[in-house]
Amino acid sequence: MPYPAEYQRATDHFSKFLTDTKLVSMVGSVHQAYTMAQGVFQVFRRRVSMEESLLFMQSLNVGLRALYSSEWNPNEKRKQWESLEIMNLEVKELRPKHNFSTPTAIQDVSTSLRMNVEIELFENTLNKLSHDARLFWSHYKK
């Protein structure tokens, strides 16, 4: 059996996500989009249980799963859900001297994420998560 197409095309899918994030957010480069997406994932990850994280990751393609889990400290203390404005500010705390995330980073990444996942699987997965976790990803540009 050949290895799955998801792995064969991982770079293409990840590049498309970064390009879409760049275009949605209007940041200057895919490098800036990468930092913003990583920051958004970290903000989300700090607020959900390990079980919710593992469920969520199953709705992502292989490149996004890798980004979601990169630099993960599973012993990090969980944070409380806060306003979208405060969590968007938290996104900017990742590599602050090189972070050009937008004030709407969560909304921007949520929008591009929805463009790059199997939406039915993504929505079904979100329905298994807490209300606040679902709400986090509900802020997207329609």
Q: Does the residue 23 lie in any domain? A: yes
Q: Which residues of the chain have pLDDT under 70?
A: none
Question: CATH number for the domain including 58?
Answer: 1.10.490.110
Q: How many domains does the chain have?
A: 1
pLDDT of residue 3: 82
pLDDT of residue 5: 83
Q: Does the residue 142 lie in any domain? A: no
Q: Does the residue 94 lie in any domain? A: yes
Chain-centroid distance of CA 4 in Å reads 23
**Residue among 40, 111, 45 nearest 78 (CA):** 45
Q: Does the residue 103 lie in any domain? A: yes
Q: Does the residue 61 lie in any domain? A: yes
pLDDT of residue 136: 98
**Could you tell me the pTM of the whole model?**
0.95
Q: Does the residue 141 lie in any domain? A: no
pLDDT of residue 141: 83
Domain with 111, as residue range(s), is 5-71+80-136
pLDDT in tens, 67-87: 999 999 999 999 999 999 999
Contacts of 38 (CB under 8 A, 6+ apart): 67, 70, 71, 94
> Could you tell me if 63 and 17 are in contact, meaning their C-beta atoms sit under 8 angstroms apart?
yes
pLDDT of residue 142: 73
Q: Does the residue 57 lie in any domain? A: yes
